[in-house]
């Protein structure tokens, strides 16, 4: 087993625990940074999370809302989906924007690359900005049939993230990043 040369952790063994089309779970026997034996669980995602923030010329954006099974609650988020590792993330972002909101983007800009939950997963997340928008046909997947769409001022979406109405980490990070860099992206 090879570890990063600067890592304070030493991996002794890795045992697969669970595997499906979306995730792989492993149990790692390790020596921790204090030199003591331990166990570490790792969840590896087979897709990368790709979110996209649509923004029109008037400073409006769109959020999607749906019931999240894992949380057992409703969630407002930026449009988002999974991108197979070998698929172009921009292609995924544009597809998710069309499927979930019925919008096409004439221009797309990468905003962020992040790790949403790096203590137990190796998940990669990406956030894009979509501008030069036009309407198209919404094409929801079976798991999205309860999805709702909300068009609102960008600043209102940022406020929703600030007051806890949006809790999805990638959505919050993307909205805050864009709000902090609004002049760079010419947001009204």
Model confidence at 171, in pLDDT bands (50, 70, 90)?
very high
**pLDDT tens, position by position, 99-111:** 999 999 999 999 9
Quote the strand ranges of the chain, DSSP E. Answer: 10-19, 23-31, 37-45, 47-54, 60-68, 73-77, 80-84, 103-114, 125-135, 148-153
**Strands across the sheet containing 148-153:** 73-77, 60-68, 148-153
**pLDDT tens, position by position, 79-127:** 999 999 889 999 999 999 999 999 999 999 999 999 999 999 999 999 9
C-alpha closest to that of 179 among 51, 53, 63: 53
Q: How far apart are alpha carbons 35 and 74 in whole angstroms?
A: 43
Residue 33's φ and ψ, nearest 5 degrees, are -60, -20
The pLDDT, as a whole number, for residue 188 is: 64
Q: What is the mean pLDDT of the chain?
A: 92
What tokens does 87 get? Answer: 């698929």
């Amino acid at each position: 087993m090879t570890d990063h040369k600067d890592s304070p952790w030493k991996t002794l063994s890795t045992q697969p625990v669970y595997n499906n089309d979306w995730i792989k779970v492993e149990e790692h026997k390790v020596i921790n940074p204090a030199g003591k034996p331990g166990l570490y669980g790792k969840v590896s995602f087979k897709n990368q999370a790709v979110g996209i923030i649509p923004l029109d010329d008037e400073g409006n954006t769109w959020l999607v809302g749906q019931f999240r099974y894992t949380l057992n609650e409703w969630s407002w988020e930026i449009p988002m989906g999974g991108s197979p590792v070998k698929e172009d993330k921009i292609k995924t972002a544009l597809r998710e924007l069309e499927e979930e909101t019925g919008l096409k983007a004439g221009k797309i800009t990468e905003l962020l690359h992040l790790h949403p939950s790096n203590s137990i997963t190796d998940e990669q997340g990406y956030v894009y900005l979509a501008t030069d928008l036009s309407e198209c046909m919404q094409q929801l997947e079976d798991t999205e049939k309860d999805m709702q769409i909300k068009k609102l001022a960008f600043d209102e979406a940022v406020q929703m993230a600030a007051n806890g109405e949006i809790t999805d980490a990638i959505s919050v990070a993307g909205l805050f990043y864009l709000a902090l860099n609004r002049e760079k992206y010419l947001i009204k």
